[in-house]
Amino acid sequence: MPTKSTRVKPDSDDAPVPVPGAARTDLGLAATGAESPAPMGALPSGPSVTPSPLPVAPLLGTEPRPEPELSTGHVAPATREELLAEFGEEYLSIQALFHFCFVPTGRISFLRDLALGEEWGDNSYVLLKYLAVHVRLAIEQGAFVWNGEQLVMTAGRLTTASGTPIYLGLVRNQDVGQNPWVMNWVGERPSCAELPEPPRLPRWPALRTDAEIVLAADLTDTERRAPLPALDGIPLVAQSAAIVGAAHWSIHRGLAVPQLHGGSRGFFVPLFLRQREDLSLAPDAAVPIVCVGSRIVVRAVLEPHVCYPSARALVERFEQLPPWLVDAWEAHHEEDEPEGERG
């Protein structure tokens, strides 16, 4: 594995990863946790601006470890504060990951093949969201080591089929004006003497079952919310009551799943409006919620598969997600497959 910064140029295998536009990902608006598609793995256009550290405090329960050091007589290529500044203005998003480092197609494809098999979505969109969360948290918490001029960290908690942890290596990009870092290595056995630990995830607030649920989503804009055939033709007050009631029902049965949107910790809650016999099936919709004092605020109404990338980033294996979300994701993926490729 390389230990010195090298000039990395994209070629046929190392082109920027295109991130697809997942259907209706704009439904969550700006505060739902369901991330809109990010642009390709290059820095955003615009005037050159020297980045400054983000005013984002570490998430609760993710306090940083001591600053990683090189052996005596060597200086680390960058401090933790300098690394954090290079993520840009967004937090835990794919855009922020691409602002920080160039992710060659060959590296992400190799990571996808090396990790325990699962459906990562078109162009590995779900895997990129997973890395967007864990790479940033690893830097924030000091969960990385220096191997010469190469920064080494775990790929979150991803493992091979045999359970071996997977690691990432990043080096400085020698192309001035481009992404500050390049992911130049993915593998199981880094050559550094000390192996880094995966970053810790934050603690979630207790989800109170007796809290008042407040609907803050605009149900009149059908272009900005999931379709709800079960509620067609009834007054808005009745629609609101049905959504709040369905969310309350699911919360009482422990069906909510944690999610992160920036530094905000919340949940996705399924809405079962037409059947409640089999809770392993995809619901009619899902709502992102946040706890605000004694209230639970519903921020939007989403198609359930849109929740999957953000929720998947917070678990070690996809099987740890609730069955309703896995079924929604698999059903959406099957719909997108050409007929000739379906089993």
What does DSSP say about strands 295-298 and 212-215: parallel, antiparallel, or unpaired? parallel
User: What is the residue-averaged pLDDT of the chain?
Assistant: 82
Mean pLDDT of 66-91: 78
pLDDT score of 8 more than 90: no
Mean pLDDT of 305-319: 96
Closest listed residue to residue 309, CA positions, set 135, 93, 156 = 93
Tell me the pLDDT band of 97, cut-offs 50, 70 and 90: very high
Confidence at residue 206, expressed as pLDDT on a 0 to 100 scale: 83
Confidence at residue 261, expressed as pLDDT on a 0 to 100 scale: 82
265 or 51, which is more confident: 265
Mean pLDDT of 312-339: 89
Confidence at residue 32, expressed as pLDDT on a 0 to 100 scale: 56
Confidence at residue 47, expressed as pLDDT on a 0 to 100 scale: 35
Tokens in use for 177?
A: 């004006």
48 or 110, which is more confident: 110
pLDDT score of 45 more than 50: no
Mean pLDDT of 250-264: 92
Confidence at residue 145, expressed as pLDDT on a 0 to 100 scale: 95
Overall residue count recorded for the chain in this entry? 343
Mean pLDDT of 28-41: 46
Residues 6+ apart with CB under 8 A from 118: 317, 318
Confidence at residue 59, expressed as pLDDT on a 0 to 100 scale: 57
296 or 224, which is more confident: 296
Tokens in use for 60?
A: 């609760």
pLDDT score of 89 more than 90: yes
Confidence at residue 18, expressed as pLDDT on a 0 to 100 scale: 43
Tell me the pLDDT band of 328, cut-offs 50, 70 and 90: very high
11 or 146, which is more confident: 146
Mean pLDDT of 88-103: 96
pLDDT score of 170 more than 80: yes
Please measure the distance between the N-terminal and C-terminal CA atoms of the chain and give it in whole angstroms: 39
pLDDT score of 168 more than 80: yes
Most confident of 6-10, 57-61, 100-104, 206-210: 100-104
Mean pLDDT of 47-74: 47
Tell me the pLDDT band of 149, cut-offs 50, 70 and 90: very high
pLDDT score of 213 more than 90: yes
* Cα-based torsion angle of the residue sequence 156, 158, 162, 165 in order, rounded to the nearest 10 degrees: -20
pLDDT score of 50 more than 60: no
Asked if 250 contacts 272 with a C-beta cutoff of 8 angstroms, the reply is yes
- The span from the CA of 161 to the CA of 115, in Å, is 7
pTM of the model: 0.80
Mean pLDDT of 88-105: 96
HEC profile for the chain?
Answer: CCCCCCCCCCCCCCCECCCCCCCCHHHHCCCCCCCCCCCCCCCCCCCCCCCCCCCCCCCCCCCCCCCCCCCCCCCCCCCHHHHHHCCCCCCCCHHHHHHHEECEHHHHHHHHHHCCCCCCCHHHHHHHHHHHHHHHHHHHHCCCEEECCEEEEEEEEEECCCCCEEEEEEEECCCCCCCCEEEEEEECCCCCCCCCCCCCCCCCCCCCCCCEEEECCCCCCCCCCCCCHHHCCCCHHHHHHHHHHHHHHHHHCCCCEEEEECCEEEEEEEECCCCCCCCCCCCCEEEEEEEECCEEEECCCECHHHHHHHHHCCCCCHHHCCHHHHHHHHHHHHHHCCHHHCC
pLDDT score of 131 more than 60: yes
pLDDT score of 230 more than 90: yes
